[in-house]
Amino acid sequence: MNPSQHVDRLIRKLETLAALSDEEKQALRGLPLTVKAFKADQDILREGDNPAECCLVLEGMVFRYLMLDDGRRQIMGFYIPGDIPDLQSLHITTMDHSVASLVPTTVAFIPHQSLNELNARHPTIANALWRDTIVDAAMFRLWMVGLGQKSAHERLAHVLCELLVRFKAVGLAEDEQTCAFPITQTELGDALGLTTVHVNRVIQDLRRDGLITLGRGSLCINDWERLRQRAKFNPLYLHLDGREARP
Amino acid sequence: MNPSQHVDRLIRKLETLAALSDEEKQALRGLPLTVKAFKADQDILREGDNPAECCLVLEGMVFRYLMLDDGRRQIMGFYIPGDIPDLQSLHITTMDHSVASLVPTTVAFIPHQSLNELNARHPTIANALWRDTIVDAAMFRLWMVGLGQKSAHERLAHVLCELLVRFKAVGLAEDEQTCAFPITQTELGDALGLTTVHVNRVIQDLRRDGLITLGRGSLCINDWERLRQRAKFNPLYLHLDGREARP
DNA sequence: CGGACCGTTGAGTAGAGTCAATGTGGGTGG
DNA sequence: CCACCCACATTGACTCTACTCAACGGTCCG
């Protein structure tokens, strides 16, 4: 991946949030990016940090999580290339959770100062970024609905639907029904509020019913419509606006 | 409550998010507010709506919720005077959830256009509002942690701690340990992912242990420190320290 | 070849749900 | 003013989803 592709990833993501003029794209290309590689399972940001930059995912995959004192861990979201998982640090200085890599990952750090200057000069970009934090919040709300109201089967099906749709939205799905899935069953459990054992049993049910093929870092949804029904998945909350979200 | 107090409620809230100059406060006072009263249990906004204005809570209390097809309901947050529960509608046009009154409530509607003009002219206010949506997201994340990882006892204790702290932050607590609590056990259940029956049993445990007095629309936390420990409550996520970030 | 990590399986348990009935206080209409 | 109603709170008995504990299997990799 060469440097100009780095910012293209960001532009492509922002274009899912707002239409950008050539001038605005040019301004984005002027952002100073510091690229850094992480191995799998490394913290990129930790609870309590006061970062002076935001991190844009270029390759790989990251997740946000909060660890409780007694070792319980809640994973709050998975992030794919083009996402800026700590955009909120622009406005709340202290991280109230951590961000870590799921697999070997490269990220680009963008100084808060550069982003603030960009926002001051280009309100469209500022609004697109604001919109991104708002869509983030919409995803949290929907995960809350899952954790509070849905069964283990519905929750698991939902996260599978969500990831395929999001990969497709940024053009990174392998094909119409297949995408990367480097998430272990333990991590899935921490995301869904379930134990590893139970996640395993539910996955086997989905496999047995012919809905998915899951393994070796890859997810294939063999029967989108039935999985969608089982998950009660409705992509409205992703606010992908017009960009069709149906595999 | 007279008209000038309406906007004061908003100013007081925004001052928990950023320091405001006199000029900025003056600009806020120029906002056109349309005040409207709602009875208890009325929808103020519904999933699917495309509102052209934001609603500021003046008196009473509201909550956000999402209803699933089969009648299950997840409540996503409770909002008190000074809060703008649908601020995100400025940037995502279609409501992906509903907002309703818990008790008789008055709200002020502020046209999106006025807010956008204000934001264009006063970056500090725009950033304060952005920050508000980000703090909102932080609250969703913490609720997620509760729903995913915590026991019924921890969750219930947590929501009680949160509400008292938030009432105190905007000066609306009755005293140091008492605030309004017009939430039924059914509603608490829908917020915490529990049944009414179980909520009731947990409340009784907390009462039996002398931690709270709860009833008749009022909550008194008799032993803050023990309740806080039981909830593992840490108010960091509310980001009430204000003015953290001034780009 | 051995360890580490992840996935899989089985047996027993418990936290929370379900169903159903009863208690209680505030509001309302006759 | 009283009787009734209704929403909310409370209680008990029973059930079930998901958890716990524990062991075993597969695969990658040094």
Is the pLDDT score of B246 beyond 80? Answer: no
Q: Which residue shows structure tokens 């007279």?
A: B2
H or E element in which residue B109 lies: strand B105-111
- Residue B120, CB-side half-sphere exposure with 13 Å CA sphere: 9
Q: For residue B238, what pLDDT is reported?
A: 84
Question: Domain A151-238: which topology?
Answer: Arc Repressor Mutant, subunit A (1.10.10)
Could you give the percent of chain B with pLDDT greater than 90? 85
Architecture of domain A3-140: Sandwich (2.60)
Q: For residue A241, what pLDDT is reported?
A: 65
Is the pLDDT score of B247 beyond 50? Answer: no
Q: Tell me the per-residue pLDDT of B119-149, one tens digit each, with 9 for 90 and over.
A: 999 999 999 999 999 999 999 999 999 999 9
Bases of chain D with protein Cβ within 7 A: 7-13, 17-22
Question: Domain B151-231: which topology?
Answer: Arc Repressor Mutant, subunit A (1.10.10)
Q: For residue A16, what pLDDT is reported?
A: 85
For the segment A168-189, the average pLDDT, to the nearest whole number, is 94
Is the pLDDT score of B244 beyond 50? Answer: no
* CA atoms of A89 and A108, how far apart (whole Å): 15
Could you give the percent of chain B with pLDDT greater than 70? 97
| B177-B212-B101 Cα angle (round to 5) | 75
Task: pLDDT band for B242, please (50, 70, 90 cuts).
Answer: low
Q: For residue A111, what pLDDT is reported?
A: 98
For the segment A195-199, the average pLDDT, to the nearest whole number, is 97
Q: For residue A237, what pLDDT is reported?
A: 85
> Do the Cβ atoms of A135 and A238 come closer than 8 Å?
yes
Residue in chain B closest to A124 (alpha carbons) equals B120
Task: pLDDT band for A5, please (50, 70, 90 cuts).
Answer: confident
Phi, psi angles (nearest 5°) of residue A99: -130, 130
CA of A195 to C1' of D22 (A): 15
Question: What torsion do the CA atoms of B142, B147, B151, B153 make, to the nearest 10 degrees?
Answer: 70
Give me the sheet containing B53-59, strands edge to edge. Answer: B34-38, B105-111, B53-59
Q: For residue B241, what pLDDT is reported?
A: 67
Q: For residue A84, what pLDDT is reported?
A: 96
Chain B residues within 8 A of A76 when measuring between CB atoms: 141, 144-145
Bases of chain C with protein Cβ within 7 A: 5-11, 15-20, 26
* CA atoms of B117 and B123, how far apart (whole Å): 11
Is the pLDDT score of A245 beyond 50? Answer: no
Distances, alpha carbon A170 to alpha carbons A26, A36, A69, B33, B184, in Å: 20, 21, 36, 40, 43
The residues in B 64-123 lying below 8 A from A, measured between CB atoms, are 64, 66, 68-69, 72-74, 76, 88, 91-92, 94, 96-97, 120, 123
* CA atoms of B23 and B21, how far apart (whole Å): 5
Per-domain residue ranges of chain B: 3-142, 151-231
B160 sits in the region (left: phi over 0; alpha: psi -120 to 50; else beta) called alpha
* CA atoms of A233 and A161, how far apart (whole Å): 7
For the segment B78-100, the average pLDDT, to the nearest whole number, is 95
Q: For residue A131, what pLDDT is reported?
A: 94
- The rounded mean pLDDT for chain A is 93
Q: Tell me the per-residue pLDDT of A25-73, one tens digit each, with 9 for 90 and over.
A: 999 999 999 999 999 999 999 999 999 999 999 999 999 999 998 899 9
* CA atoms of A193 and A65, how far apart (whole Å): 12
Phi, psi angles (nearest 5°) of residue A10: -65, -45
Collapsed DSSP state (helix, strand, coil) of residue B61: coil
Task: pLDDT band for A246, please (50, 70, 90 cuts).
Answer: very low
Nearest DNA or RNA nucleotide to B186 (CA to C1'): D8
Is the pLDDT score of B3 beyond 50? Answer: yes
Residues in a beta bridge with B175 = B178
* CA atoms of B143 and A48, how far apart (whole Å): 19
CA of A198 to C1' of D24 (A): 17
Comparing A122 with B240, the larger pLDDT belongs to A122
Give me the sheet containing B218-221, strands edge to edge. Answer: B178-180, B218-221, B212-215
Task: pLDDT band for B240, please (50, 70, 90 cuts).
Answer: confident
Question: Domain B3-142: which topology?
Answer: Jelly Rolls (2.60.120)
Q: Tell me the per-residue pLDDT of B170-207, one tens digit each, with 9 for 90 and over.
A: 889 999 999 999 999 999 999 999 999 999 999 999 99
Other C-beta atoms closer than 10 Å to the C-beta of A94 total 16
Residue in chain B closest to A188 (alpha carbons) equals B148
Other C-beta atoms closer than 10 Å to the C-beta of B228 total 19
Q: Tell me the per-residue pLDDT of A97-140, one tens digit each, with 9 for 90 and over.
A: 999 999 999 999 999 999 999 999 999 999 999 999 999 999 99
> How distant is the Cα of B231 from the closest Cα of chain A, in angstroms?
12
Same fold, B3-142 and B151-231: no
Comparing A222 with B245, the larger pLDDT belongs to A222
Q: For residue A242, what pLDDT is reported?
A: 39
Other C-beta atoms closer than 10 Å to the C-beta of A47 total 15
Nearest DNA or RNA nucleotide to B41 (CA to C1'): D7
Q: For residue B237, what pLDDT is reported?
A: 84
Residues in a beta bridge with B4 = none
Q: For residue B169, what pLDDT is reported?
A: 87
Buried b (16+ CB within 10 A) or exposed e, B93-103: eebbbbbbbbb
